[in-house]
Amino acid sequence: PPARRTRETVPLGNEECAFSYRHSRFKADPERYVVLRVRFALEDAGGLSGPVKYAETARVLGVAPGDRVPLATARETVLKLRAGKGMVLDPEDHDTWSAGSFFTNPILDDEAFAAFRTRVRERLGEDAEAPAYPAGPGHTKTSAAWLIDKAGFTKGYGSGPARISTKHTLALTNRGDATTEDLLALAREVVAGVHEAFGITLVNEPVTVGVSL
């Protein structure tokens, strides 16, 4: 039975949480658990970061992917990169008034990805190629931000109180007095536009309460 209904406290290890790209056991079964406490096992690496996995972070740091750097340097670099995309809260910057990346990157099976590539070339030209990243056997991940931009929703899109960030097309922002309906209307417009252009239905990452797209 769901732990929320029985009010039991259940300890779960890392593997039991089933963490993967923007997913977990808690997202798959949102009615079952409420996370009360988290314990992290931190590695003592002599003041160094973990291996730098993201190419953009490695490039800015001037190191190869997989290298380690001083923890303070890694922290400062990540904060700078995230701030440049409006992902570090600043009360004076409406681009940071968001729930972060609003849509997840689509993961397509081989057949769906082949159909998607055909749509891309029909719309953007024979030489056009969409971003593609391995996502397990028989699956490929593409970029939601790229889809949104190529469907015509560029940075800053919108004329109302809810608009796409001027820094990052994945962020739907409140320009000061947006309502839930304003935000949902923008999200629905983006979802419909991307589906019409490329045949892919974007999925929202933030959990909606009492409303849906």
Chain segment 61-91, per-residue pLDDT in tens = 999 999 999 999 999 999 999 999 999 999 9
**Quick check: is 121 catalytic?**
no
Report the pLDDT averaged over residues 115-133.
96
CA separation, residue 27 to residues 11, 21, 101 (Å): 17, 11, 16
Band the pLDDT of 8: cuts 50, 70, 90: confident
CA separation, residue 95 to residues 23, 39, 104, 143, 150 (Å): 25, 32, 19, 20, 21
Q: How is 58-117 classified by DSSP, letter by letter?
A: HHHHTS-TT---BHHHHHHHHHHHHHHTT-S--TT-GGG-EEEE-BPPPEEEHHHHHHHH
What pLDDT is recorded for position 207? 84
**Quick check: is 101 catalytic?**
yes
Which domains, and CATH codes, for the chain? 1-41 (no CATH), 46-84 (no CATH), 94-198 (3.90.78.10)
- pLDDT tens figures, 105-116: 999 999 999 999
Which is the catalytic residue, given 4, 22, 75, 123?
22
**Quick check: is 163 catalytic?**
no
Measured CA to CA, the distance from residue 75 to residue 97 in angstroms comes to 22
CA separation, residue 203 to residues 56, 156, 172, 174, 208 (Å): 25, 21, 14, 20, 12
Per-chain mean pLDDT for the chain? 93
Is a pLDDT exceeding 80 seen at residue 1? no
- Helix H or strand E encompassing 174: strand 171-174
Q: How is 5-51 classified by DSSP, letter by letter?
A: HHT------TGGGT-BTTB-HHHHSTTT-------------TTBPSP
Single out the residue of 193, 212, 210, 178 nearest to residue 98, CA to CA: 178
Is a pLDDT exceeding 70 seen at residue 93? yes
Looking at this protein, which amino acid is placed at residue 28?
A: A
What pLDDT is recorded for position 145? 97
pTM of the full predicted structure?
0.81
Percent with pLDDT over 90 in the chain = 81
- pLDDT tens figures, 22-52: 789 998 888 888 899 999 988 888 999 999 9
Is a pLDDT exceeding 80 seen at residue 3? no
Which is the catalytic residue, given 68, 119, 175, 205?
205
Band the pLDDT of 209: cuts 50, 70, 90: confident
Which is the catalytic residue, given 49, 101, 117, 163?
101
Q: How far apart are the first and last CA of the chain?
A: 29
Is a pLDDT exceeding 90 seen at residue 20? no
CB 167 within 8 A of CB 95: yes
What pLDDT is recorded for position 179? 96
- pLDDT tens figures, 149-208: 999 999 999 989 999 999 999 999 999 999 999 999 999 999 999 999 999 999 999 988
Band the pLDDT of 2: cuts 50, 70, 90: low
